[in-house]
Amino acid sequence: MTGKKITPANLAGVMPPLPTPFDAQGELAVECLRENLETLSRFGLTGFVILGSNGEYVYLEESEKLAAIATARKSIPSDKLLVAGTGAESTRATIRLTRAAAENGADAAIVITPGYYKNAMTGDAMVAHFTAVADASPIPVILYNMPAYAGIDMSVETILKLAAHPNIIGLKESSGNLVKISELVQGVEERELDFAILAGSASFLLPTLAVGGVGGVAALANIAPQQCLDIYNYFRNGHLVEAQQLQLQILAPNAAVTTRFGVAGLKYAMDKLGMYGGAVRPPLLSVNSSAASEIDGIVESLNRLK
């Protein structure tokens, strides 16, 4: 734990959720993680999220997770946030990993909904789980709602109940439901809560900002950080036409490295851009030749956008 006091206001801006690099033997490649972080630190990003969905966190051993957090802490400037994914299926395991992440230098924890026993994961179960984690955590907690992967979609009322907790400072909302995001912003304002709402994808970064969100955690920011930052800065400075044009231009590239080709596509694109993507961890598969050819074209289009 760094000792910095992290508030919802500190989450404003753009953060990339970094992939976890593996070497040729499939082991954690901490040096490659360090190099990727140093490359991305040259941009005006708010911070970095590691061990998220793009970080293949469900395939990592706990020792690998802690090594990645420690490496990230040493590799990024002190003025940029280090947010570590610490979600696990049990409350007990989540608390243990969150405390360990703090000890290894994380500024905040981002915690996904546990989802194996989906039918039992009611609003009450989510409130009890996240409240226990936040009570025990020495660092602030960010909720992570990712129904496409976890199979749980927290309701507006559940999220607002949790937003009242003093150690829960924000939400990464990855459902893409803009009505829900709007209702969350409205609820936060009506209840006078200090709570930040972040878009979980670059595909709806501008709409989220337009209804009152403060930024985004976007996979695209790994390969197009400046374009994501430009959308944010255009909006903040009132250049709405420019923001809209760029938002539309990044839709296809974003889809390619998220829903269409996933982590493997993102890693391949990073390799093409001179960073280190490398292989995914099985049972994930690398992109095939057809997907690789399409991503090649997408990378060229991103270069033109620059």
172 catalytically annotated: yes
* Cα–Cα dist 22/36, whole Å: 13
Q: What is the DSSP string of the chain?
A: -------GGGG-EEE-BPPPPB-TTS-B-HHHHHHHHHHHTTS--SEEEESSGGGTGGGS-HHHHHHHHHHHHHHS-TTSEEEEE---SSHHHHHHHHHHHHHTT-SEEEEEPP-TTGGG--HHHHHHHHHHHHHH-SS-EEEEE-HHHHS----HHHHHHHHTSTTEEEEEE-S--HHHHHHHHHHHHHTT---EEEESSGGGHHHHHHTT--EEE-GGGGT-HHHHHHHHHHHHTT-HHHHHHHHHHTHHHHHIIIIITHHHHHHHHHHHTTS---PPPTTS----HHHHHHHHHHHHHHHHH-
Q: Which of the following is catalytic: 172, 180, 267, 272?
A: 172
Query: Which residues are known to be catalytic?
Result: 172
